[in-house]
Structure 1
């Protein structure tokens, strides 16, 4: 099978879209599929990272006007037809495309309708449910209160809709560590991970909060990505904290989660990786699309959610951390909740749909 994936990453967008598409691409390659990425050369992009994984990337040039007004997302919404034309142009030398996959919040039915005549089938990866799609398959791997009706009026009648953690795009490093035994109810190690870019610098906020607790016996692992512009300052702060290690653009996050007793992070794709690993988390909302997910997970008892990033200060985080550190029962309940959420997970579920009949 020949498959193309259209997605982007940047300082503004973050790395989540590319990272989950890489997971799917790796699984498809294991099933003898040829996978090609199409990405824009945006500031903070992960094109070299994609190529390092052995995938070909067809690049679209950086639009000079994308930094104006509404940023890249605003530019794409206004110039979706230009993006579609450029994407189609990159496909001219491609063999017949069995599946074209798009993972991009700024693209909708108009863009997809332009692409569809050039490909056999089109798949959309989404989690906003805020715009219509012209697709044959839609994936939303997140958990919401109303899963069944979420995309009812946003996709064609013939489209297959896959929703929920059952279809999680999970890296192999996590699948290799499904059964993690956490013997103690105390917190001896904390993992801080706010994604690849962390534009609001929640990482530093979490570090300062932990440091203020004066608990030198607690070890801390800090994960920072290529796109994090605060990396130099974070690295210097970590040097001053006892038992604190910084990990830069790593491929062993599952190992760190297995060692940790508690995580501090946001509500992106890592949310489900934490749940899969049975790792309790203190969460801070860093983007609007995380709000519904984190509030629901809080109701289910899987996370200790503090609210929006602009409303959560260093002192607030420290106070709530101290409360959580003093409650072993809360930890046990959170672990049970994460395991319940992931009970229906099925390995390679999405790949099975894409390669069905091949």
Structure 2
């Protein structure tokens, strides 16, 4: 099978779309598929990162606004360059919808969509939304064809092998906070990491070990590294062992999105800041379930709020234990399948 991913990353978009596509791409490659990426070049893109993982990248270099029709035509031109048909085009992009998919579908055998907004119609054969929502089954009603196969909820999380391995050895958490993890996504465009670091500066936390993780797309990473060096915190940039740090941590400050579910999968209690609109509902629903604390919208969160949250966590061992248990309950501690159901569906065609 030939698989083409259409996905972007940037300082504004973030890196989450590409990272979850890379996880699915690895699974498909291991199943014998030939996998390619079509990505737009820009500040904070992960084109080189994708290529370093062994996947060829077709780059779109275009300054200024890009209409869906133009984007679709560029993708079609990429597809036409293949000597064999593209069996699946997998699109993970908030700016593309049914108009793009209808154009591209005439040149590929099938289309899959990865989404979590449920705010626009799609013309696709498979749709994956790995987030938890209280009304998950109703969200895509009328937005996809009746024949579309829906994979909804955290049981379909796209997890890298490191998370499966870390879950096997993850300790039972006792609610004590001795190690703190800060990770607000690969790009952290609202710079929550620095807010949290300034909060820690004001606290008496000499007993606390702190891990701070950023991506190369973080434009503030050098200043963050300097702050970490001043305080003796552990600084990491663009690592491939985040699961190991999550498993070691007792509490985490982070953003919503895919990393929130990864923390839940490892039973790591966390306070979640909503850094983009697409994270709002899933964070609220996860908090209502009891698996995270919802800090709220990033613009309303100051350093002082992070200080309060850290103090609260250190004084709330029973709450943290319950949060860890609810996180496991929501996501499921161990995968029950050997082949991811979405991969199986793609292979079956």
Global fold match (TM > 0.5): yes
CA offset at residue 22 of structure 1? Answer: 0.1
The runs of 5 or more residues in structure 1 that have no matched partner are 66-74
Structure-2 residue corresponding to 1:12: 12
Structure-2 residue corresponding to 1:306: 295
Contact (CA 8 Å) 2:251, 2:313: kept in 1 or not? no
Q: Deviations over 1:160-218 (max 9, x none)?
A: 11100111111111111223113532111000001111011000111111222211110
The runs of 5 or more residues in structure 2 that have no matched partner are none
3-state SS of paired residue (2:222): helix
CA offset at residue 349 of structure 1? Answer: 2.0
Structure-2 residue corresponding to 1:103: 92
Contact (CA 8 Å) 1:166, 1:346: kept in 2 or not? no
Pairwise mapping of residues 44-123 of structure 1 onto structure 2 (< 5 A)? 44-61=44-61, 63-65=62-64, 75-76=65-66, 79-94=67-82, 95-123=84-112
Structure-1 residue corresponding to 2:206: 216
Distance of aligned partners of 1:183 and 1:114 in 2 relative to their CA distance in 1, 3 Å threshold: closer
Structure-2 residue corresponding to 1:279: 268
Q: TM-score, normalised by structure 2?
A: 0.96
CA offset at residue 331 of structure 1? Answer: 0.8
2:277 counterpart (288, 304, 316)? 288
Aligned partners of 1:166, 1:128: CA distance in 2, in Å?
18
1:248 counterpart (224, 230, 237)? 237
Aligned partners of 1:342, 1:323: CA distance in 2, in Å?
24
Aligned partners of 1:149, 1:306: CA distance in 2, in Å?
27
Contact (CA 8 Å) 1:2, 1:35: kept in 2 or not? yes
Asked if residue 354 in structure 1 is aligned to residue 342 in structure 2, the reply is no
Q: TM-score, normalised by structure 1?
A: 0.94
3-state SS of paired residue (1:250): coil
Aligned partners of 1:284, 1:102: CA distance in 2, in Å?
27
CA offset at residue 342 of structure 1? Answer: 1.6
Structure 1 residue ranges, 4+ long, deviating more than 3 angstroms after superposition? 344-347
Aligned partners of 1:349, 1:160: CA distance in 2, in Å?
11
Aligned partners of 2:12, 2:295: CA distance in 1, in Å?
23
Asked if residue 192 in structure 1 is aligned to residue 182 in structure 2, the reply is yes
Contact (CA 8 Å) 1:167, 1:346: kept in 2 or not? no
Distance of aligned partners of 1:289 and 1:346 in 2 relative to their CA distance in 1, 3 Å threshold: farther
Aligned partners of 1:341, 1:349: CA distance in 2, in Å?
18
Number of aligned residue pairs: give it.
344
3-state SS of paired residue (1:335): helix
Aligned partners of 1:230, 1:115: CA distance in 2, in Å?
37
Aligned partners of 1:102, 1:318: CA distance in 2, in Å?
39
1:320 counterpart (295, 309, 324)? 309
Q: Deviations over 1:250-291 (max 9, x none)?
A: 000011011100111010110110011010001111001111
CA offset at residue 19 of structure 1? Answer: 0.3
Pairwise mapping of residues 127-276 of structure 1 onto structure 2 (< 5 A)? 127-179=116-168, 180-242=170-232, 244-276=233-265
Contact (CA 8 Å) 1:166, 1:349: kept in 2 or not? no
3-state SS of paired residue (2:137): coil
Structure-2 residue corresponding to 1:39: 39
Aligned partners of 1:226, 1:346: CA distance in 2, in Å?
34
